[in-house]
Structure 1
Amino acid sequence: MTTTDPNDTRLSSWRLLAGNPVTLVSALVLVAVTVVAVTANWLAPYGVNDVDVPNALAPPSASHWFGTDELGRDVLSRVLVAVQASMRIAAVSVALAMVVGVAVGVVAGYRGGWLDTVLMRVVDVMFAFPVLLLALAVVAILGPGVTTTILAIAIVYTPIFARVARASTLGVRTEPYVSASRAMGTGDLYILRRHILPNIAGPLIVQTSLSLAFAILSEAALSFLGLGIQPPQPSLGRMIFDSQGFVTMAWWMAVFPGAAIFVIVLAFNLLGDGLRDVLDPKQRTTVEARRRER
């Protein structure tokens, strides 16, 4: 009987990721976006709220690469800081959703019975509402702001992680090594930590990448409606809202914030697709077979 070296499997996974140019480019883009988000305050050439009315609606130039808005504020500086805020909100909200959702899904899938039924019915009720509508309801109850936006997005995406975790746990809990561990008298917490969680990590990683993309969109939508990040702090959604009356005379006010949203969301989605090809055994087998044919 042959055994597979975990190091060989890990190395093969990295080779598959590196061999996909789309995934590699999207990962590099996200690394660059992360660096920008961390260093935005130092990279911004001007203050985000430095008003220069005589220089209002100036087109892109050497002094203002992305032009200026209706108050003469530098669009590049505001986009950089807005990307920082969007990435921070997306990361924190998705992390909260993942922690709560995975806990609910793993407990429901592992224990089963009435507990599984009750928890999943609650999840189904939350799924009955459209994502943006549920987020709007949460913000309307708690009031607009950064903290409320984080909570709203976290609440919206918790059921998604719960379903993914439960479905994966149902498949893993019947595996022979789990049954053997349980027969040896091993505690449930040890089984969950040692056997269940490591073996459901793949789908959760893919879902995290996809959820980050939609969290960026959700934050932009809430800010566009005036329920997310509040002025004077810049946000990509609010910048697009403010540009509506100047689209014909200052296209750069809408194009650059919109392009930032587009690039970040697309990169997260493409990275999620690449990770799925590597972490999903069925998808991975298909990808490897196609490459051998070439």
Structure 2
Amino acid sequence: MTTTDSARVSSWRLLLRNPVTAVSALILLAVAVIAVSANAIAPQGVNDVDVPNALRPPSGGHWFGTDELGRDVLSRVLVATQASMRIAVVSVAFAVVVGVTVGVLAGYRGGWLDTVLMRVVDVMFAFPVLLLALAVVAILGPGVTTTILAIGIVYTPIFARVARASTLGVRTEPYVAVSRAMGTPDHMILRRHILPNIAGPLIVQTSLSLAFAILSEAALSFLGLGIQPPQPSLGRMIFDSQGFVTMAWWMAVFPGAAIVVIVLAFNLLGDGLRDVLDPKQRTIAEARRAQR
């Protein structure tokens, strides 16, 4: 086994030995399965109206109860989770591609390009996340595509800053200087040396950004600017439950619980990844394991 393979195995062992991280990973694996197969495993149609059975509490026939129109809450939570995960993944992927490109170029090139790109990023950072997302949706109109674009734009500056800071640290390393002296093209240096060595912080930031993307989508849908009816959304389900909280608590509790569990799992997984991928945090974690 090579040194790289040994380090990779050690990283996985350290990650899985943390019970909180392991449980978080299992939860997210289950969420991923739901996101892929929600329509197949949903016990009923998400828009099957059954007014005589409206506002029924959780039971054997409806595990999560029914809403004001008699629709099965479990089915709607499953499909809404699928929609939220799809929006979060696509929007964060957009932010990663654009943000990392901007950050790596700014950090590697430096000079006027760094100044211009980072000033644009600073201007975007001046606006609160949700306010900027609301502005984008207000301009382009509500909908799934607009929600994805709004969340992607909001989180692009975060990845740009993380990528730039990491690139500034890597570009001064001796192996980068040697590659430059040998006449290696910049795109080869970026692909072989820069990107692999800044992947750790970006992976951690991706996990954390997915959590906040879920929250952002729920907030936009709650305000009526995200996913539009009749397609279910966790945020919209919570909004619709406001008038029935005292008589049908399950309408708000189960969608809210889904948001909390997914966001918490992403955050805890991000903390675990940071302990493994950050050399300083990894040393501390290994020292703690050795003391036990």
TM-score range, shorter-chain basis? over 0.9
1:40-189 map, 5 Å: 40-189=38-187
TM-score, length of structure 2 as denominator length: 0.99
Deviations, residues 95-123 of structure 1 (Å, cap 9, x unaligned)? 00000000000000000001000000000
Q: What residue ranges of structure 1 are gaps of 5+ in the alignment?
A: none
Q: What residue ranges of structure 2 are gaps of 5+ in the alignment?
A: none
Aligned residues: 291
Query: What is the root-mean-square deviation in Å for CA atoms of aligned residues?
Result: 0.6
| Structure 1 partner of 2:263 | 265
Task: Say whether 1:19 aligns with 2:17.
Answer: yes
> Partners of 2:288 and 2:240 in 1: how far apart?
48
| Identity across the alignment (%) | 87
Structure 1 residue 290, shift from structure 2 partner: 1.2
| Structure 2 partner of 1:230 | 228
> Partners of 1:31 and 1:153 in 2: how far apart?
23
SS of the residue corresponding to residue 235 of structure 2 reads helix
Structure 1 residue 291, shift from structure 2 partner: 1.2
Deviations, residues 58-106 of structure 1 (Å, cap 9, x unaligned)? 0000000000000000000000000000000000000000000000000
> Partners of 2:28 and 2:290 in 1: how far apart?
29
SS of the residue corresponding to residue 226 of structure 1 reads coil
SS of the residue corresponding to residue 69 of structure 2 reads coil
> Partners of 1:72 and 1:141 in 2: how far apart?
35
| Structure 2 partner of 1:240 | 238
Task: Report the AA paired with residue 281 of structure 2.
Answer: Q
> Partners of 1:134 and 1:268 in 2: how far apart?
23
SS of the residue corresponding to residue 149 of structure 1 reads helix
Structure 1 residue 293, shift from structure 2 partner: 1.6
SS of the residue corresponding to residue 83 of structure 1 reads helix
Structure 1 residue 41, shift from structure 2 partner: 0.3
TM-score, length of structure 1 as denominator length: 0.98
Deviations, residues 253-278 of structure 1 (Å, cap 9, x unaligned)? 00000000000000000000000000
> Partners of 2:204 and 2:123 in 1: how far apart?
24
Task: Report the AA paired with residue 73 of structure 2.
Answer: V
SS of the residue corresponding to residue 200 of structure 1 reads helix
| Structure 1 partner of 2:5 | 7
Structure 1 residue 218, shift from structure 2 partner: 0.1
> Partners of 1:96 and 1:30 in 2: how far apart?
21
Kindly report structure 1 stretches of 4+ aligned residues shifted beyond 6 Å.
none
> Partners of 2:78 and 2:4 in 1: how far apart?
40
Task: Report the AA paired with residue 128 of structure 1.
Answer: A
> Partners of 1:51 and 1:141 in 2: how far apart?
34
> Partners of 2:271 and 2:235 in 1: how far apart?
26
Task: Say whether 1:254 aligns with 2:249.
Answer: no
